[in-house]
Chain A
Amino acid sequence: MRTPVAYFLVVSAALFTIGTVGVLVRRNALVMFMSVELQLNGVNLALVAFSRLHGDLTGQVLTFFSLVVAAAEVVVGLAIIVSVFRRRRTANVDDLAELRW
Chain B
Amino acid sequence: MSAEQIAFWVFAPISVGSAIGMLLQRNAVHAALLLVVNLVTVAVFYLMLDAPFLFAVQIIVYAGAIMVLFLFVIMLLGVDREEALLEPLRWQRTGAVVLGLAVLAELVTAIHAGVGFAARGPAVFAEGASTRALARTLFRSYLLPFEATSVLLIVAAVAAMVLAHRKAPAPPAEAATTEPEELEVAP
What residues of chain A have their CB less than 8 Å away from a CB belonging to chain B? 1-11, 13-22, 24-28, 30-31, 33-35, 37-38, 41, 44-45, 48-49, 51-58, 60-61, 63-65, 67-76, 78-83, 85-86, 91, 94
What residues of chain B have their CB less than 8 Å away from a CB belonging to chain A? 1-2, 4-5, 8, 12, 15-16, 19-20, 22-23, 25, 28, 31-32, 35, 38-39, 42, 45-46, 48-51, 53-54, 57-58, 61-62, 65-66, 69-70, 73-74, 76-78, 81, 83-84, 87-88, 92-93, 95-97, 100-101, 103-104, 107-108, 111-112, 115-122, 124-127, 129, 133-134, 137-138, 141-142, 145-146, 149, 152-153, 155-157, 159-161, 163-164, 166
Chain A interface mostly? helix
- Contact call B42/A56, Cβ cutoff below 8 A: no
- Contact call A78/B160, Cβ cutoff below 8 A: yes
Candidates B42, B121, B137, B160; contact of A41 at CB < 8 Å: B42
Known: A30-B32, A34-B32. 17 other contacts (CB 8 A): A1-B4, A5-B49, A6-B117, A9-B115, A25-B92, A30-B74, A35-B23, A41-B62, A45-B42, A48-B51, A54-B121, A57-B127, A65-B145, A65-B146, A71-B66, A83-B163, A91-B77
Q: Looking at the assembled complex, report how far the CB atom of B81 sits from the nearest CB atom of chain A, in whole angstroms.
A: 7
Tally inter-chain residue pairs, CB-CB below 8 A: 240
- Contact call B149/A69, Cβ cutoff below 8 A: yes
- Contact call B73/A28, Cβ cutoff below 8 A: no
6 closest A-B pairs (Cβ-Cβ)? A72-B156, A24-B96, A79-B160, A79-B163, A13-B107, A55-B122
